[in-house]
Protein backbone atom coordinates (compact mmCIF):
# COMPACT_ATOMS: atom_id res chain seq x y z
CA UNK A 1 0.00 0.00 0.00
CA UNK A 2 1.10 3.53 -0.74
CA UNK A 3 1.32 5.54 2.50
CA UNK A 4 0.33 9.20 2.35
CA UNK A 5 0.93 11.38 5.37
CA UNK A 6 -1.55 14.21 5.86
CA UNK A 7 -0.57 17.05 8.17
CA UNK A 8 -1.69 20.59 8.89
CA UNK A 9 -2.42 22.96 11.69
CA UNK A 10 -5.53 22.98 13.85
CA UNK A 11 -8.54 24.09 11.80
CA UNK A 12 -6.87 23.38 8.45
CA UNK A 13 -9.20 20.53 7.55
CA UNK A 14 -6.54 17.79 7.54
CA UNK A 15 -8.99 15.30 9.07
CA UNK A 16 -11.58 16.22 6.46
CA UNK A 17 -9.01 15.71 3.69
CA UNK A 18 -7.97 12.34 5.14
CA UNK A 19 -11.59 11.21 5.43
CA UNK A 20 -12.41 12.32 1.86
CA UNK A 21 -9.51 10.23 0.55
CA UNK A 22 -10.80 7.30 2.61
CA UNK A 23 -14.31 7.71 1.15
CA UNK A 24 -13.29 8.40 -2.45
CA UNK A 25 -10.49 5.83 -2.74
CA UNK A 26 -11.39 3.23 -0.10
CA UNK A 27 -8.16 4.05 1.72
CA UNK A 28 -7.20 2.76 5.15
CA UNK A 29 -7.07 5.60 7.65
CA UNK A 30 -4.82 6.04 10.67
CA UNK A 31 -5.49 9.15 12.75
CA UNK A 32 -2.68 9.64 15.25
CA UNK A 33 -4.92 11.39 17.82
CA UNK A 34 -7.28 8.41 17.82
CA UNK A 35 -4.37 6.00 18.07
CA UNK A 36 -3.26 7.91 21.17
CA UNK A 37 -6.57 6.89 22.73
CA UNK A 38 -6.23 3.28 21.57
CA UNK A 39 -2.76 2.81 23.06
CA UNK A 40 -3.80 4.33 26.40
CA UNK A 41 -6.81 2.16 27.17
CA UNK A 42 -6.99 0.52 30.62
CA UNK A 43 -4.58 -2.38 30.78
CA UNK A 44 -2.19 -0.96 28.18
CA UNK A 45 1.33 0.13 29.07
CA UNK A 46 0.62 3.73 28.05
CA UNK A 47 -2.34 3.88 30.45
CA UNK A 48 -0.22 2.65 33.34
CA UNK A 49 2.54 5.16 32.64
CA UNK A 50 0.08 8.06 32.41
CA UNK A 51 -1.60 7.03 35.65
CA UNK A 52 1.79 6.81 37.39
CA UNK A 53 2.86 10.24 36.10
CA UNK A 54 -0.39 12.19 36.59
CA UNK A 55 -2.08 10.28 39.43
CA UNK A 56 -5.53 8.90 40.10
CA UNK A 57 -7.16 12.33 39.68
CA UNK A 58 -7.13 11.97 35.89
CA UNK A 59 -8.98 8.63 35.98
CA UNK A 60 -12.77 8.89 35.60
CA UNK A 61 -15.45 6.81 37.39
CA UNK A 62 -15.36 4.13 34.69
CA UNK A 63 -11.59 3.73 35.02
CA UNK A 64 -10.66 5.55 31.80
CA UNK A 65 -8.35 8.53 31.42
CA UNK A 66 -10.34 11.76 31.68
CA UNK A 67 -9.11 13.37 28.46
CA UNK A 68 -10.40 16.83 29.34
CA UNK A 69 -8.60 16.89 32.70
CA UNK A 70 -5.42 15.65 31.07
CA UNK A 71 -5.71 18.21 28.25
CA UNK A 72 -6.17 21.03 30.76
CA UNK A 73 -2.98 19.95 32.53
CA UNK A 74 -0.79 19.55 29.46
CA UNK A 75 -2.02 22.69 27.70
CA UNK A 76 -0.83 24.82 30.60
CA UNK A 77 2.35 22.95 31.58
CA UNK A 78 5.19 22.42 29.11
CA UNK A 79 6.82 19.73 31.29
CA UNK A 80 3.56 17.80 31.53
CA UNK A 81 3.12 18.05 27.74
CA UNK A 82 6.63 16.71 27.23
CA UNK A 83 5.96 13.86 29.66
CA UNK A 84 2.70 12.85 27.97
CA UNK A 85 4.38 12.98 24.57
CA UNK A 86 7.25 10.83 25.86
CA UNK A 87 4.70 8.25 27.02
CA UNK A 88 2.20 8.24 24.16
CA UNK A 89 4.29 8.87 21.03
CA UNK A 90 6.44 5.72 21.25
CA UNK A 91 3.32 3.60 21.73
CA UNK A 92 1.59 5.25 18.77
CA UNK A 93 4.71 4.89 16.61
CA UNK A 94 4.90 1.20 17.39
CA UNK A 95 1.23 0.75 16.48
CA UNK A 96 1.65 2.63 13.17
CA UNK A 97 4.79 0.72 12.20
CA UNK A 98 3.12 -2.63 12.84
CA UNK A 99 -0.09 -1.63 11.01
CA UNK A 100 1.76 -0.44 7.90
CA UNK A 101 4.22 -3.35 7.78
CA UNK A 102 1.34 -5.84 7.88
CA UNK A 103 -0.28 -4.20 4.81
CA UNK A 104 2.65 -2.80 2.82
CA UNK A 105 2.48 -5.47 0.09
CA UNK A 106 -1.23 -4.89 -0.65
CA UNK A 107 -2.73 -2.47 -3.18
CA UNK A 108 -4.35 0.82 -2.25
CA UNK A 109 -3.65 3.67 0.11
CA UNK A 110 -2.98 4.09 3.79
CA UNK A 111 -3.58 7.63 5.01
CA UNK A 112 -1.68 8.65 8.14
CA UNK A 113 -3.07 11.89 9.59
CA UNK A 114 -1.27 13.81 12.31
CA UNK A 115 -0.63 17.45 13.19
CA UNK A 116 2.87 16.59 14.42
CA UNK A 117 4.12 14.54 11.46
CA UNK A 118 7.74 15.65 11.56
CA UNK A 119 8.09 16.24 15.28
CA UNK A 120 7.21 12.59 15.98
CA UNK A 121 9.07 11.13 13.00
CA UNK A 122 5.87 9.74 11.45
CA UNK A 123 7.07 11.01 8.08
CA UNK A 124 9.49 8.08 7.94
CA UNK A 125 6.51 5.73 7.49
CA UNK A 126 5.15 7.73 4.53
CA UNK A 127 5.87 7.47 0.84
CA UNK A 128 4.85 11.12 0.59
CA UNK A 129 3.56 13.84 2.93
CA UNK A 130 0.86 16.39 2.10
CA UNK A 131 0.47 19.63 4.03
CA UNK A 132 -3.05 21.03 4.23
CA UNK A 133 -2.69 24.80 4.22
CA UNK A 134 -5.31 27.35 5.24
CA UNK A 135 -4.63 30.99 6.23
CA UNK A 136 -4.80 31.62 9.99
CA UNK A 137 -7.89 33.87 9.83
CA UNK A 138 -9.91 31.12 8.16
CA UNK A 139 -8.62 28.54 10.65
CA UNK A 140 -9.71 30.78 13.53
CA UNK A 141 -13.19 31.19 12.03
CA UNK A 142 -13.48 27.42 11.52
CA UNK A 143 -12.44 26.72 15.11
CA UNK A 144 -15.03 29.17 16.40
CA UNK A 145 -17.75 27.59 14.28
CA UNK A 146 -16.87 23.90 14.66
CA UNK A 147 -15.50 23.78 18.21
CA UNK A 148 -16.82 26.93 19.82
CA UNK A 149 -13.31 28.22 20.55
CA UNK A 150 -12.79 31.88 21.34
CA UNK A 151 -10.51 34.01 19.20
CA UNK A 152 -7.90 34.05 21.99
CA UNK A 153 -7.98 30.27 22.50
CA UNK A 154 -7.67 29.65 18.75
CA UNK A 155 -4.72 32.05 18.50
CA UNK A 156 -3.02 30.44 21.50
CA UNK A 157 -3.31 26.97 19.96
CA UNK A 158 -2.10 28.13 16.55
CA UNK A 159 0.83 29.96 18.17
CA UNK A 160 1.96 26.72 19.91
CA UNK A 161 2.09 24.87 16.58
CA UNK A 162 4.87 24.99 14.01
CA UNK A 163 4.65 27.70 11.34
CA UNK A 164 3.22 27.14 7.88
CA UNK A 165 6.73 27.59 6.42
CA UNK A 166 8.04 24.77 8.61
CA UNK A 167 5.59 22.36 6.96
CA UNK A 168 5.73 23.83 3.46
CA UNK A 169 9.52 23.36 3.37
CA UNK A 170 9.21 19.68 4.34
CA UNK A 171 6.04 18.46 2.61
CA UNK A 172 6.00 16.78 -0.79
CA UNK A 173 2.74 18.54 -1.70
CA UNK A 174 0.81 21.50 -0.31
CA UNK A 175 -2.98 21.43 -0.59
CA UNK A 176 -4.60 24.84 -0.22
CA UNK A 177 -7.94 24.15 1.52
CA UNK A 178 -9.78 27.43 1.88
CA UNK A 179 -12.15 26.87 -1.05
CA UNK A 180 -15.13 24.64 -1.66
CA UNK A 181 -15.37 20.89 -1.15
CA UNK A 182 -15.55 20.48 -4.93
CA UNK A 183 -12.28 22.38 -5.36
CA UNK A 184 -10.65 20.24 -2.69
CA UNK A 185 -11.84 17.01 -4.29
CA UNK A 186 -10.49 18.16 -7.67
CA UNK A 187 -7.07 18.74 -6.07
CA UNK A 188 -7.20 15.26 -4.49
CA UNK A 189 -8.07 13.65 -7.83
CA UNK A 190 -5.14 15.41 -9.46
CA UNK A 191 -2.72 14.15 -6.79
CA UNK A 192 -4.07 10.61 -6.73
Instruction: Average pLDDT across each block of 10 residues of the chain; the chain has 192 residues. List them in order.
Output: 96 93 95 92 93 94 93 90 92 94 95 93 96 94 91 90 94 94 91 88
Q: Number of folded domains in the chain?
A: 1
Residue 151 CB neighbour total at 10 angstroms: 11
Query: In whole angstroms, what is the distance from residue 69 CA to residue 65 CA?
Result: 8
User: Residue 100, SS3?
Assistant: helix
- Round to whole Å and give the CA distance between 87 and 63: 19
Report the pLDDT value the prediction gives residue 48, as an integer from 0 to 100. Answer: 94
Domain that holds residue 56: 2-191
Q: How far apart are CA 173 and CA 168, in angstroms?
A: 8
Cα radius of gyration rounded to whole Å, the chain:
17
pTM for the whole thing?
Answer: 0.83
Give the pLDDT of residue 20: 94
Nearest to 119 by CA among 140, 88, 143, 142: 88
Query: Between 67-76 and 78-103, two packed helices, what is the crossing angle to 10 degrees?
Result: 120
pLDDT given at position 160 = 86
Domain of residue 121, CATH code: 3.40.50.300
Amino acid sequence: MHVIGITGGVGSGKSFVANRIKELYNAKLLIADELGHIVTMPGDLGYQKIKERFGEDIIDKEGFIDRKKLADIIFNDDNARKDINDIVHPEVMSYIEKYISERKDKKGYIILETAIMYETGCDRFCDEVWYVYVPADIRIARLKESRGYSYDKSCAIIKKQKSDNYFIERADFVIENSGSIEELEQKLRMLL
